[in-house]
Amino acid sequence: MKRYCIIFIILCACMVAEAETVPSKDSIQIAKIWDAGEHNAFTDLIRFKNRFYCSFREGAGHSGGNGKNGKVRILTSKNGKKWESIALLETEGVDLRDPKLSVTPDNRIMVVMAGVTFDKSNFLEQLYPMVSFSSPSGKTFSLPQKSIIDPAISPSRDWIWRVTWHKGIGYGINYQLKENARDRSSLKRDAWLVYLMRTTDGKYFEKVSQLDIPDLPNEATVRFDDKDNAYVLVRKEAGDKMGVLAKSGIPYNNWEYHDVDFRLGGPNFIFFGNNKLIVGTRMYEAVTSTGILLTDLTGKVLKTIKLRGSGDTSYPGMLVYKKKLWVSYYSSHEAKTSIYMAQIPISELETL
């Protein structure tokens, strides 16, 4: 089987306090949990039926290479220490990217991912959302299949990046490439668009609203507070490249926007109490790292914890379990790009 490598990279909360940077320290436990693939990256993390599940992409590099398409690996663990592979998803001729996990209303694991194909010059040809479902036991997974995008947004090159379920409905941001070029600096500010989508089955996604975010918005995570407000954290790839935190109440078509003062890479977040967010992202500094940021509800940073790692890194999955923040992420600081699991005591986040 001939495989085309990827040549593009879709690089793809109220207190008054001074932000603080805290390096990884003894109270934070970090362990490598997987390095069997050539390049292991782009993680997510959930709990299902009293077990951890961690997903990520295995490929030849960050964005392909050597003619090998990416596959989706899913690990599981009872205690977060001993991990085993439970699935390896692949589709002939398709690069599978950024698998994200959620639990459906009928109590199955849903894996959303992107399917990418390339033309003979290794240039992006097709980009579409795909989905796989676990058995009720979580022990087996179906073959990935294409999801269908609402024709109201004129499907083009589309990516449902992560789905969050709220009151029986799955919500996710579809970022759409109206234009695609090797040199992103030549693209117009509205060449990429972002839409809030909804689904009841993971197979068909209906348009809810478009978010008015220019400068090549792309990767995004949606979460809901206890008042049914939707918050969306969105990465931008042009302009000042700083992230955007958007908020809307029901029916999620009247958005307010807050520009945050940090860049995003693989953005993820969860609520911490009633007035803070825990954000996971790549830290764009002289030495890159995976950062865990405590912010207020407008994205103002109150505290930063940098996890051990460097180079090609980030794309964290996060959850709180037994008074610890568990973070899956990838890093290349040990010569080979590998998957790591961090355990951060909640006390580290409560102390400013």
pLDDT greater than 70 at residue 195: yes
The whole-number average pLDDT for the span 115-123 is: 82
pLDDT given at position 23: 54
Please, what is the average pLDDT of the chain?
91
**Residues 148 and 129: beta-carbon distance below 8 Å:** no
Query: What is the enclosing helix (H) or strand (E) of 132?
Result: strand 124-133
Strands 21-23 and 301-307, bridge-based pairing: parallel
pLDDT given at position 64: 54
pLDDT greater than 90 at residue 193: yes
Query: What is the enclosing helix (H) or strand (E) of 347?
Result: helix 346-350
Helix (H, G, I), strand (E, B) or coil at 186: helix
CATH 3.40.50.620 corresponds to the domain 21-350: no
Residue 316 one-letter amino acid: P
pLDDT greater than 60 at residue 8: no
Tens of pLDDT, residues 293-340: 999 999 999 999 999 999 999 999 999 999 999 999 999 999 899 999
d(CA 325, CA 178): 38
Q: Tell which residue, 343, 315, 319, has the closest CA to residue 329.
A: 315
Residue 339 one-letter amino acid: I
Band (pLDDT 50/70/90 cuts) for residue 125 is confident
The whole-number average pLDDT for the span 94-109 is: 97
pLDDT given at position 16: 32
**Residues 180 and 120: beta-carbon distance below 8 Å:** no
Regarding pTM above 0.85, the answer is: yes
Tens of pLDDT, residues 24-81: 556 999 999 999 999 999 999 999 999 999 999 999 887 654 457 899 999 999 999 9
pLDDT given at position 26: 65
Tens of pLDDT, residues 162-176: 999 999 999 999 999
